[in-house]
Amino acid sequence: MHKYNPETNLWQEAAPLTFARSGICAVADRYSLLAIGGMSGSEFLDVVEKFDPERNCWSQIASTIERKALSYGAISRDKVFIFGGCTGFQWRVSGTNLIEMYDPALNEWTGIQSVGPPKHCFGVVTFKGEVFVIGNWTEDSSQDSYLKVYDVDENEWKPCASIPRGFTVKCLALLRIPRDILRSCRVVQ
């Protein structure tokens, strides 16, 4: 693993993960990086490691509730949220209604049952305290993708009513979501 130092504009070697794996969900705040879940060979993992850049080391923290890979995550109000992911080798059964929330103060994951989380998640980002999720909300992943806002306080999904002309959600799913789109999103009440 390598870490980038913006002050020197250089990459330097960093400590490797304790558990080698692929398909992790990586979430960062200004103090640390979390590597959540993933796969080791054919085993799905619930392992969560926290990287401390000051000490250049990883430490294991509380495990997730479900073993999964390829999840998407975001931090809002000092809590970590993970959405979607694959819990088995049959991709169709990987959709779950469980959103997992990590509280660093308690070092524990809580499962949040939610009506209508995405069946196939493509991207998650927080902007001004809101969690924006791009995904398919149907079993058929060939259907259109949608941008929705997850209301952390109400535990509900709200569709984004407007996206500027010229942008399609399918294109956004592959890229970072431009701030203009996030600013212009008006949540349907």
Q: Are residues 102 and 130 in the same domain?
A: no
Q: What is the pLDDT of residue 174?
A: 45
Q: Which of 113, 145, 173 is the last residue of a domain?
A: 113
Give the mean model confidence (pLDDT) for residues 53-66.
94
The pair phi, psi for residue 182, each rounded to 5°, is -65, -40
Computed over every residue of the chain, the mean pLDDT equals 79
pLDDT over threshold 60, residue 71: yes
pLDDT band at residue 152 using 50, 70 and 90 as cut-offs: confident
DSSP string over 49-71 = EEEETTTTEEEEEPPPSS--BS-
Q: Are residues 25 and 97 in the same domain?
A: yes
Q: What is the pLDDT of residue 136?
A: 66
Least confident of 84-88, 104-108, 111-115, 167-171: 167-171
**Segment of 32-36, 66-70, 98-102 carrying the highest mean pLDDT:** 32-36
Q: Enter the pTM of the model.
A: 0.79
Give the DSSP H/E element, type plus range, for residue 134.
Answer: strand 130-136
Q: What is the pLDDT of residue 156?
A: 76
Q: Which of 113, 133, 155 is the last residue of a domain?
A: 113
pLDDT band at residue 90 using 50, 70 and 90 as cut-offs: low
pLDDT over threshold 60, residue 142: no
Range of the domain at 185: 118-189
Q: Are residues 47 and 125 in the same domain?
A: no
Q: Are 118 and 156 in contact (CB under 8 A)?
A: no
Q: Are residues 98 and 176 in the same domain?
A: no
